[in-house]
Structure 1
Amino acid sequence: MRRAVVTGAPGSGKSTLLAQVAQHGIATVPEVARDILQSSGGMEMRAERPLDFALAMFDAQRACWDRGGQMPVLFDRGFADIVGFLRIEGLVIPREIDAACRECRYEGPVFHAPPWREIFRQDEQRIQTWDEAVESDAAVVQAWRDYGYSPITLPLADPVTRAQFVLERL
């Protein structure tokens, strides 16, 4: 296993899980969208130019692709998540994003963090409502399946238990 992914609903504990897994020596790559949203003009780009936002996520994800060399790496989201975002926005999937989903294969498991009402919180970058988060989850999970992956659903459990679940499967 070189590359594995955690995907799923906004606010479902993905970043917390990656932080916990990193404490066990697994290299992690944070969600690229968060950095874009926190940068100047990022929120406006997402709201007003979703295709540009998707392309920015793609460029950032592509730059992270080879991170870690031969060491195992756990990504917070991946190329198929961008496809899910584009589908929700009703946009056509650019050829280069589709090609990356087909050619840049994650060898490790794709873990699915399902919507979890009890821990869901909105913040300055996570602007989706609960219903939008559930819709986003369905779109990204379907995108992963469409590209030939079988996401493994994470338990709704504390971060330590979730991390152990992931570590046992890596």
Structure 2
Amino acid sequence: MSDRFIVLSGCSGGGKSTLLEELRRRGHAVVDEPGRRIVQEELATGGSALPWLDLAAFARRAIALALADRAAMRDQPGLVFFDRGLIDAASALEASGGEPVLAALAREHRYNGRVFLTPPWPKIYAGDPERRHGFDAALTEYERLAKTYPMLGYETVILPKVSVAERADFVLARL
């Protein structure tokens, strides 16, 4: 396990990416969400590994990208913050009816034992070309992840609904 690898997970549209930008601004290493990068690439190239077209293919690509991200950050000094990552992708693959890979991947590739979850926050939720699902789907995803992380031995910490700077302070104080 790498105690330096910190996962920010939780509800889609809950402010993870914005929080990551604040942590980056403060000098921490961050890894952007695999899913967003995949969607951007697939839309640009006319691909079909998109969550609304082929969730299993999308999740498999997200797993591969999350593993590559971990390897790329292995020698990065200090804390590294991940916007989602391997557990989220493997959980999505299993939820889509894909192969059961979550337990094995989670055992082999651990993150810090404390995972920070962004709770559902309708006030800031917004769809965009890369986030085409509605708030109800985001809630379903959040509920799945809120169960998955503890099941795998992680302590989940729910982020408060406060300003971005206060959220960053909250995360750093708990590490």
TM score, norm. by length of structure 1? 0.90
* Unaligned stretches of 5+ residues in structure 2: none
Q: Given the superposition, is the C-alpha separation of residues 130 and 21 from structure 1 closer, same or farther in structure 2, using an over 3 Å criterion?
A: same
Contact 2:9-2:118 at 8 Å conserved across structures: yes
| Structure 2 match to 1:57 | 62
Residue 167 of structure 1 and its aligned partner are, at CA, apart by 1.3
CA deviation map 1:25-78 (0-9, x unaligned): 111101011010011245654233222111100110000113151421010012
Contact 2:49-2:57 at 8 Å conserved across structures: no
Q: CA RMSD in A?
A: 1.7
CA distance in 2, matches of 1:54, 1:61: 10
| Structure 1 match to 2:14 | 12
Residue 83 of structure 1 and its aligned partner are, at CA, apart by 3.1
* Unaligned stretches of 5+ residues in structure 1: none
Residue 105 of structure 1 and its aligned partner are, at CA, apart by 0.8
CA distance in 1, matches of 2:112, 2:142: 22
Report whether the alignment pairs 1:160 with 2:162.
Answer: no
Query: How many residues were matched structurally?
Result: 168
CA distance in 2, matches of 1:38, 1:63: 18
CA distance in 1, matches of 2:94, 2:74: 30
Q: Secondary structure at the match of 1:151?
A: strand
| Structure 2 match to 1:35 | 37
Contact 2:10-2:118 at 8 Å conserved across structures: yes
Which of the residues 96, 103, 106 maps onto 2:108?
Answer: 103
Residue 92 of structure 1 and its aligned partner are, at CA, apart by 3.5
Structure 1 segment 7-156 matched on structure 2, within 5 A: 7-39=9-41, 40-42=45-47, 45-66=50-71, 67=73, 69=75, 70-94=77-101, 97-107=102-112, 109-156=114-161
Contact 1:83-1:140 at 8 Å conserved across structures: no
More divergent stretch after superposition (138-147 vs 82-91): 82-91
CA distance in 1, matches of 2:122, 2:133: 13
TM score, norm. by length of structure 2? 0.88
- Which segments of structure 1 move beyond 6 Å, counting only runs of 4 or more? none
